[in-house]
Amino acid sequence: MLQHEGNRIVHHPILGEWKPRAGVTIFYNGRPILAQEGDTIAAALLAAGISVLRYTKKRREPRGIFCAIGQCSDCIMTVNGEPNVRTCITPVENGMKVCSEESQWKAGDDQF
Amino acid sequence: MKETWDVVVVGAGMVGLAVAYELSRRNLRVALLDKGGLGQGASAANCGLVLASDAEPGLSRDLTLEGFRLLSTLSARLGYDFEFEQKTFLQALISETELAEAEEMLNGPLSKPLHFRLLTPEESRRYEPYLDTKDALAVFHSLQAVVNPLQLLFAYYRAARRQGVTWFPKTEVRGFSDYGNAQVAVQTERGEFKARKVIVAAGAWSAKLLSPLPVELPMAFIQGEAMVTEALPSLLSCCTGLFTSDRIDLEKALGADLLAGKQSGLEETSCLELDVRQMQGGNLLIGQKTDYNSAYRDTVSWNGMGLMAGQVLRWFPTLRAVRVLRTWVSPVAFTPDHQPLLGPLPHFENIFLATGFKSTIVLTPIVAELAADWACDANMPYDLGEFRPARFGEE
Amino acid sequence: MGDRTAKVDVAIVGAGPAGLWAGISASGAGAVVSVIDENLRPGGQLVKQIHKFFGSAQHHAGQRGMAIASGLYHQAEAAGCRFSLNRRVYGVYGRGPFRLAMATEGGTEYLDARSLILATGASENALAFPGWTLPGVMTAGAIQTLVNLQRVVPGHRVLMIGAGNVGLIVSYQLLLAGISVAAVVDSKPDVGGYWVHAAKLAKAGVPLLTGHTILGVRGEERVRSALVKDLRSPRQPVEIAVDTVCLAVGMTPSVRLVSLLGGHLVFEGGKGGFVPAGGETVSGIPGLFAAGDASGVAEASIAMEEGKMAGICASRYLGLISEKEEQEKSRGIRETLAELRQPVRPVREEFSPSLSLFSSPVRRVIMECPQEIPCNPCEKNCPRGAIKIGRPITNRPQVDHALCSGCGNCVAVCPGMACYLLEYDRGGEKAKLSFAYEGWPLVHRGDWVMAVAGDGRKLGRVQVEKVKSLKAYSATSVVTVAAGPELAPYIRGMARGENG
């Protein structure tokens, strides 16, 4: 009876049944995650149960999706080596490597 | 239950709570039992009218007037405001017969204490400007009172608890037995309660509750229905209704049937006694349609709601769009002679019954005092012989 | 193509309802129009709106936002508008012409426009409280994006902050998606949004905690609970277990491009903050116009009218229409805007049957529409003309019950789902009540469902007698349940997920 499968809304009285699109695989900190074409990175991660997208540098506080329209930069991650990508408006691509920013830190990064 | 109580009170409605309160004032150890919670019968589902005008001559009238007097100062004694207020009652007279009856009442003994007067329709509008009197020949005026029944119930509960009454909700009584040493044991689903005396004030359920005992109690259910509307700005200042209803005739017929032990042919018969008033919170309370049923029911009838709404709009057309928030039905105990069952049971002299009142609220304070007097073996200021529960089996 | 600078008559920034209508209106006058938007899809916030809109037929009342968005886009394209999507205008240089600099994936593009219409919308306000940066605290727009576009569950139990229209609508959208809403919290004493939106939530049993505020959230990696305080009571705050807190605490007009151009801004609290002075014609800068939420936060129907107006003003500025034409075209719009901008007063209404409804057992349309809101689909869709609203459109509907045929169209099309049909059989012995239902799973004839009252109280199980779902009803079904005549007047819907 549930409307959800995992974190995906599959039954919806207005939007209808969820039609799965082509599957793509992205790598989150090296871990493969199944996503669907048309997902944004942040949505694909949330669908996989990942709500913490990064930790702040100084105080190591978790951040997740806040505005989902590319305005607030809470969701920035390193995508295919490029830092500070707004994952809430960037669509997934097959083979994309998504890393949380803290995994890229070097020692002493939090000193300034 | 190893404890022994002075008195066990069965039924936590208006009467039961008042009795428990009076007993505790006399320093007795009191256990109050109910199969449910507080006020689950008619006590929480009634219009809160403190009616004295329909008391019959004799003991009933004496007790009513005394009860009225006690009730007007009760709030100070209980330390809780239950919205007691003197209220002008207006009753529309729509036939010559009613007019004649009303004129007779003007000369009766209640006329003075209750300020009976006959108003012309125009005069009545000075009391209630929104009353549409086009259908009325005249309007009968009396000064009686109203309370908020829920608050009164709570006032008694609070006072009783403060004075040490022990309260056992959800404790259904299964039977009674003689325990020797002039003690009664009350069997309940939670064990046995031993007491010197038992007072049963279980309203419409009293007959069923006492059915394990070989006592004949001719009682029936009357179901009263009422509706409560949304809160409005101050609009009505009186309690307005019809002067008479078919209820009296129906009650006589039902009483005769009950005495004869016949299945009543009056089931599904109903009648309307309208009263509309505005409560202190602004909600209108509209009652009451009554019907006779042998079985307890918990839903209102469409027919009853329609009758009441129709009558209200006949007298107050301005209330058309007022919204009905809730409706309720309450079971009321009914006896063949419309007189209460008040006194010890035949052969079970330490069980006292207090139920079957026609206008319960006004009688509650005095009945509670009498029951407490009985429990203390004190002298009663009244002879309750007229109301003794044994009266029906004696002829 | 050495020079990457394109030239147009009118550039419109923002492809929401205001921008699309500005485009339709200016193209209609013969202007070469380019509509620019930073998103991949046109439609602005409309694309996330899955509820039915209020208003009149000309504002697509009764349609769902997503359908309105694609309709307007096709209309604008057919009128000749060019669309530049996925482009963000980061600068405007010069005033005659306006030179727009746009960031694209491939680098910067420029566009020269003789006239510029800013329909940049508004951005959501945030609310700071202890823990507000935790994952799980998000804006209402984010929730809509995730739930309605990405179809991902943002959380399983949501606390909504803000009882304005956005907060109420998004709460309802969450319910549609099968996500529970713990409560709607607002510090004001009354619900700020339309009462009918609040009534949809009340029916579903969602508590509307007006006069309450959020003190903070608790959790380590994600929201675990929220502390909510009753502002009128000295009692301690209550801790509500939720995994998501949604912020719907108003919007601020996006006026940065006006500032860049040196336009004068004035503060208007009722419009959400600083707005361009001069209304649709930004004062002091010839050829610059503003429309929609950018010129003051309001309803989509108002944005559409303002867009039309800005298109006409730009056409006049360019000399494409005469002054007389401008006046003719704008008169109707000004009248409509005046109607739409009527303030809607908060109401505290008891939604229960009236005494007159009890007193006469005939077929009745019950309209629980207590506010003067601009909306008339019930009138337009009644085949017998039994419902009258007329003008102004904010009039409350009047029903001639004698004309009603009982078709249930009004029940289905009412965007507030505030229309009910009460019918009696055999002189009042049996009753049926019809209500609008949007929910999953669907109900079928013969199902037993839990009937609920307007405040969400469960009334008892009743049997479904009829389910009417027409294509024109757009995913809304009219469900008719049979119930005792004493119960039917109180039924306002059924509990979600409790049928079968």
What pLDDT was estimated at residue C29?
Answer: 95
Q: How far apart are CA B77 and CA B21, in angstroms?
A: 11
In chain A, what residues touch C139 (CB-CB under 8 Å)?
Answer: 66-68
Question: Coil, strand, or helix at residue B369?
Answer: helix
Q: Average pLDDT of each block of 10 consecutive residues along chain B (395 residues)? A: 84 96 96 94 89 88 94 94 94 92 91 93 93 92 94 96 95 87 88 94 91 84 88 93 74 76 62 87 89 72 84 92 88 86 91 92 96 93 91 70
Contact C8, C100 (CB under 8 A): no
Q: What is the CATH number of domain C126-247?
A: 3.50.50.60
Angle at B100 between CA B98 and CA B101, to 5 degrees: 65
What pLDDT was estimated at residue B219?
Answer: 82
Query: Average pLDDT in the C117-139 region?
Result: 96
CATH tag for C5-123+251-340 (out of 3.50.50.60, 3.90.550.10, 3.40.50.1820, 3.30.70.860)? 3.50.50.60
Q: Do chains C and B touch (3 or more CB pairs under 8 A)?
A: yes
Query: Average pLDDT in the C455-483 region?
Result: 91
Which of the other chains make 3 or more beta carbon contacts under 8 angstroms with chain A? C
In chain C, which residue's Cα lies nearest the Cα of A55?
C221
Rg (CA), chain B: 21
DSSP secondary structure code for residue B382 in this structure: S
Give the closest residue to C457 by CA, choosing from C114, C161, C204, C107.
Answer: C204
The answer to whether C50 contacts chain A (CB < 8 Å) is yes
What pLDDT was estimated at residue C427?
Answer: 63
User: Greater confidence, C310 or B288?
Assistant: C310
Angle at C412 between CA C410 and CA C418, to 5 degrees: 70
The answer to whether C178 contacts chain A (CB < 8 Å) is yes
When the pLDDT of each residue in chain A is averaged and rounded to a whole number, the result is 90
Q: Is the pLDDT of residue C215 over 60?
A: yes
The answer to whether C127 contacts chain A (CB < 8 Å) is no
Contact B75, B82 (CB under 8 A): yes
User: Would residue B51 count as lying in a domain?
Assistant: yes
The answer to whether C350 contacts chain B (CB < 8 Å) is yes
Please answer yes or no on whether B305 and C487 come within 8 Å at the CB atom: no
Please answer yes or no on whether B302 and C486 come within 8 Å at the CB atom: yes
The tokens of B337 are what? 């002679």
What pLDDT was estimated at residue B327?
Answer: 87
Sign of CA dihedral B354, B355, B361, B362: negative
Domain with A45 in it: 22-102
Please answer yes or no on whether C358 and B305 come within 8 Å at the CB atom: yes
The answer to whether C135 contacts chain A (CB < 8 Å) is yes
Work out the pLDDT band at C425, boundaries 50, 70, 90. confident
Burial B83-93 (b: 16+ CB within 10 A, else e): bbeebbbbbbb
Could you tell me if B199 and B273 lie in one domain? no
What pLDDT was estimated at residue C500?
Answer: 35
Please answer yes or no on whether A52 and C222 come within 8 Å at the CB atom: yes
Alpha-carbon separation of residue B338 from B241, B255, B290, B334, C126 (angstroms):
21, 8, 15, 7, 69
User: Would residue B286 count as lying in a domain?
Assistant: yes
Give the closest residue to C119 by CA, choosing from C10, C264, C8.
Answer: C10
Specify the number of domains making up chain B.
2
Question: Coil, strand, or helix at residue B68?
Answer: helix
User: Would residue A107 count as lying in a domain?
Assistant: no
- Of the listed ranges A9-23, B291-305, C260-274, C297-311, the least confidently predicted one is B291-305
Contact C448, C471 (CB under 8 A): no
Could you tell me if B12 and B125 lie in one domain? no
Q: How far apart are CA A27 and CA A95, in angstroms?
A: 7
What proportion of chain C, given as a percentage, has pLDDT over 70? 97
Which DSSP helix (H) or strand (E) runs through B25? Answer: helix B14-25
Sign of CA dihedral C479, C482, C487, C488: positive
Last residue of a domain, one of B316, B334, B352: B334
Burial B118-130 (b: 16+ CB within 10 A, else e): bbebeebbebbee
Give the closest residue to C462 by CA, choosing from C439, C429, C485, C441.
Answer: C485
Q: Do chains B and A touch (3 or more CB pairs under 8 A)?
A: no
Phi, psi at B273, each rounded to 5°: -125, 105
| CATH code, domain carrying B191 | 3.50.50.60
| Closest-CA distance of chain B to residue C420, Å | 15
Q: How far apart are CA C458 and CA C495, in angstroms?
A: 8
| Other CB atoms within 10 Å distance of the CB of residue B270 | 20
Q: Is the pLDDT of residue C2 over 80?
A: no
Contact B139, B124 (CB under 8 A): yes
When the pLDDT of each residue in chain C is averaged and rounded to a whole number, the result is 91
| Closest-CA distance of chain C to residue A16, Å | 9
What is the rounded end-to-end Cα distance, in angstroms, of chain C? 66
Which DSSP helix (H) or strand (E) runs through B75? Answer: helix B59-78
Q: Do chains A and C touch (3 or more CB pairs under 8 A)?
A: yes
Contact C306, C18 (CB under 8 A): yes
| Other CB atoms within 10 Å distance of the CB of residue B273 | 21
Alpha-carbon separation of residue C180 from B15, B106, B248, C206, C312 (angstroms):
45, 65, 55, 9, 45
Compute CA C329 distance to the chain's CA centroid, rounded to the nearest angstrom.
Answer: 26
Q: How far apart are CA B41 and CA B205, in angstroms?
A: 9
The tokens of B173 are what? 């009584």
Where do we find the tokens 């965007």? C415
Strand partners for A40: A91
Question: What are the residue ranges of helices labelled H in C321-438?
Answer: 323-340, 355-359, 377-380, 409-413
User: Would residue B78 count as lying in a domain?
Assistant: no
In chain B, what residues touch C485 (CB-CB under 8 Å)?
Answer: 302
Compute CA C403 distance to the chain's CA centroid, rounded to the nearest angstrom.
Answer: 32
Minimum-distance CB partner of B324 among C358, C361, C487 = C358
Instruction: List, by residue range, all CATH 3.50.50.60 domains of chain C.
Output: 5-123+251-340, 126-247
| CATH code, domain carrying B106 | 3.30.9.10
User: Would residue A43 count as lying in a domain?
Assistant: yes
Q: How far apart are CA A97 and CA A79, in angstroms?
A: 6
Please answer yes or no on whether A67 and C133 come within 8 Å at the CB atom: no
| Closest-CA distance of chain C to residue A5, Å | 10
Q: Is the pLDDT of residue C1 over 50?
A: no
Could you tell me if B250 and B308 lie in one domain? yes
In chain A, what residues touch C153 (CB-CB under 8 Å)?
Answer: 4, 7-9, 46-47
User: Would residue B81 count as lying in a domain?
Assistant: no
Could you tell me if B369 and B255 lie in one domain? no
What pLDDT was estimated at residue B321?
Answer: 87
| Closest-CA distance of chain A to residue C191, Å | 24
Domain with B386 in it: 4-65+150-217+338-394
Question: What is the per-residue pLDDT across C92-108, written as a single tens digit (0 to 9) for each?
Answer: 988 879 999 999 988 99
Alpha-carbon dihedral angle through residues C354, C376, C393, C278, given to the nearest 10 degrees: 130
Which of the other chains make 3 or more beta carbon contacts under 8 angstroms with chain C? A, B
Phi, psi at C300, each rounded to 5°: -60, -35
Compute CA C229 distance to the chain's CA centroid, rounded to the nearest angstrom.
Answer: 28
Rg (CA), chain C: 24
Please answer yes or no on whether A67 and C141 come within 8 Å at the CB atom: yes
Last residue of a domain, one of B334, B351, B380: B334
Contact B68, B362 (CB under 8 A): yes
- Among chain A, residues having any CB pair with chain C shorter than 8 Å are 1-4, 7-15, 18, 39-40, 43, 46-47, 51-53, 61-71, 74, 88
Beta-carbon contacts of A5 under 8 Å, excluding residues fewer than 6 positions away, are none
Please answer yes or no on whether A65 and C439 come within 8 Å at the CB atom: no
Specify the number of domains making up chain A.
1
The answer to whether C486 contacts chain B (CB < 8 Å) is yes
| Closest-CA distance of chain C to residue A107, Å | 23
Where do we find the tokens 């309720």? B328
Angle at B288 between CA C362 and CA B314, to 5 degrees: 50
Beta-carbon contacts of B299 under 8 Å, excluding residues fewer than 6 positions away, are B329, C484, C486, C487
Please answer yes or no on whether B306 and C361 come within 8 Å at the CB atom: yes
Question: What is the per-residue pLDDT across C330-372, written as a single tens digit (0 to 9) for each?
Answer: 999 999 898 888 888 888 777 678 888 877 767 889 999 889 8
What pLDDT was estimated at residue B265?
Answer: 60
Q: What is the DSSP string of C145-172?
A: IIIIII-B---SEEEEE--SHHHHHHHH
What pLDDT was estimated at residue A51?
Answer: 94
| CATH code, domain carrying A54 | 3.10.20.440
Alpha-carbon dihedral angle through residues B107, B111, B115, B118, given to the nearest 10 degrees: -40
In chain C, what residues touch B323 (CB-CB under 8 Å)?
Answer: 350-355
Could you tell me if B136 and B228 lie in one domain? yes
User: Would residue B104 count as lying in a domain?
Assistant: yes
In chain C, what residues touch A66 (CB-CB under 8 Å)?
Answer: 126, 137-139, 142
The answer to whether C358 contacts chain B (CB < 8 Å) is yes
Q: How far apart are CA B18 and CA C226, in angstroms?
A: 45
Please answer yes or no on whether A68 and C141 come within 8 Å at the CB atom: yes
Question: What is the per-residue pLDDT across C163-173, written as a single tens digit (0 to 9) for each?
Answer: 999 999 999 99
